[in-house]
Amino acid sequence: MQLRRAHSGFTLTEMAVVFAIVALLIGGAMMTLSAQIEQRNNDETTRRLNAAAEAVLAFAIVNRRLPCPATAATTGDEAFTGANCSTWYGGFLPARTLGFQPVDAAGYGVDSWNNRIRYAVAQTVTGCTGTPVNPHFVSTANLKANGVSCKPNDLDVCAPVDGTIVCTAANRVVSTSTVAFIVFSSGKNGAIAGAYGPHEAANTDGNATFISHLPSGTDSLTGTFDDLMVWVPAGTVYSRLISAGVLP
């Protein structure tokens, strides 16, 4: 007598369970890969911002002053209007002037998301030995004449815990009269102004108040925020120039 073999296989329920497990594994792998990519982009952008700050300091040693920001019309070059910068707080890193890389097709320095790196420089000073002549940091003659006792008197960096954009003693990241210049990235969403949270919008509104804190999402009291920022104190600028024999 010939025995028949029993045919075994997966039931629809078992197959559904297998597919669900596979989907979860793939989803978890994709999330892990995405997180790794974002971390690499953040790390690379931070490296570029630090390199940009060093390029600004190197420019200062050679030219005995800080560079002005680039504008949307200067294709990566610093922008002057007479003896003043065309913009102080709403411009971009003058990458072509600094010899900074990488740049986009127009010569502006870019972050790892290919968004233009921004740059702001102090316009006014206080606490000088005599009466200062402004602008201070971007003028070779004024920087020399005013001296290293001068402190910045406009750039403010704070970290509000809600959607406000007001700097106070409680939320200030650095003390007032400290920051000589700032370089920053507008983050992954930098090319999508409509996606900015209130603190991101504050960093690109052209005034002297800047926000810097940990990343946050739409569910946060502070709103969406992924900007990355490096600020350089006046003391660092003076120290580099003194060490190079440029000042006093």
User: Residue 11 — very low, low, confident or very high, per pLDDT cuts 50/70/90?
Assistant: confident
Number of H helices, E strands in the chain: 5, 10
CA distance 49 to 113: 13
Work out the number of other CB atoms within 10 angstroms of the CB of residue 133. 15
CA distance 99 to 60: 13
User: CA quadruple 195, 198, 200, 203: dihedral positive or negative?
Assistant: positive
Peptide bond before residue 102 is cis, with ω within 30 degrees of 0: yes
CA distance 219 to 136: 42
C-alpha atoms less than 13 angstroms from C-alpha of 37 in its C-beta half-sphere? 8
Q: What is the pLDDT of residues 151-194, one digit of tens each?
A: 999 999 999 999 888 899 999 999 889 999 999 999 999 888 88
Instruction: Please tell me the predicted confidence (pLDDT) of residue 9.
Output: 61
- What global pTM score does this model have? 0.85
Instruction: Please tell me the predicted confidence (pLDDT) of residue 172.
Output: 94
- What does the DSSP 8-state code read for residue 149? T
Instruction: Please tell me the predicted confidence (pLDDT) of residue 23.
Output: 72
- Which range, of 4-13, 20-29, 128-137, 188-197, averages the lowest pLDDT? 4-13
Average of per-residue pLDDT across 23-44: 77
